Amino acid sequence: MTGRAMAISLLALCGLGVTACGATGAAATGADARSSGAQSSGAPATARLKSVSAEPGASSARAATDTVTPARPLAGKVIVIDPGHNGGNYRHPEVINKKVNVLTQWKPCDTTGTATNDGYSEAAFTWDVASRMVKLLKAKGATVRLTRDGNSGVGPCITQRAAIGNKAHANAAISVHADGAPASGHGFHVIMPKKINGPVDPVVARSRKLGLALRAAYHEGTGMPYSTYIGKSALDFRSDLGGLNLSTVPKVFIETGNMRNASDAAKFRDPRFRQRVAASLVDGLERYLG
């Protein structure tokens, strides 16, 4: 056979089976994938398939596709936090002693609140807890409103505190306090509204549900016992609080403990415990809203 004839024969063979000629590239890879174990240059077809999928950018594209944005469980929810009292109240008795109508009686606009025996004020404690709650709630997607913007001002009056929650159309509102009971008593309790033939009546049932969720979460999260001196199983129902009587949104008060009790007061002084207080209350709000 002449040299020209041999060349023509070889070309014909290659046309019949590309793998016999050691062909590479996309065409060969596709043929290998379809064939039963056919190989090129000794390399398995699966290996060549893997090399194609591992091209630059392929892994990052898969990672981006597989990434799931963490859920924000309180997205779309509005929560109002009412930190009890205010740091400047004691300087302005002419303001806080002014009487306001809470529908069942007339009461002072606000009070100074209580303090531990060594002078840590309820106003400072509630502001610190509320500030911690804001960060946690926003991280969960909630819109948060506060009834005061610091701890050096005066008021606002209890009637205004209720109005802030109403205007915000809050899904839930909580008034954070610490009690000033006799030193022998300790523990926490939740204060919930009663029906008074007033604006709070339509939300009394939902306020109870909120209160029960907060009681469970606070007890579990902080280890604080139920109050030994007031209420039944840490629940107290009242009709004399303007912050509840005037609320048109689900709202409760929580007395997180007794500042006059040495054991409770020591806990309140610890910033780590205050963080637990905040986290537990946020957990309770999430349980209710969930």
**Catalytic residues, which ones?**
255
DSSP labels, 92-158: -HHHHTSEEE-SSSEEES-----B-TT--BHHHHHHHHHHHHHHHHHHTT-EEEES-S-SSS----H
Shortest CA distance to 159 belongs to which of 248, 255, 250, 281?
248
Q: Which amino acid is at 201?
A: D
φ, ψ of residue 88 in degrees (nearest 5): -100, 5
Residue 188 · residue 227 · CB < 8 Å: yes
CA–CA dist 65, 62 (Å, integer): 5
Strand partners, 239: none
Q: Which amino acid is at 265?
A: A
Q: In sequence order, what are the residues at sequence separation of 6 or more whose Cβ sits closer than 8 angstroms to the Cβ of residue 275?
A: 132
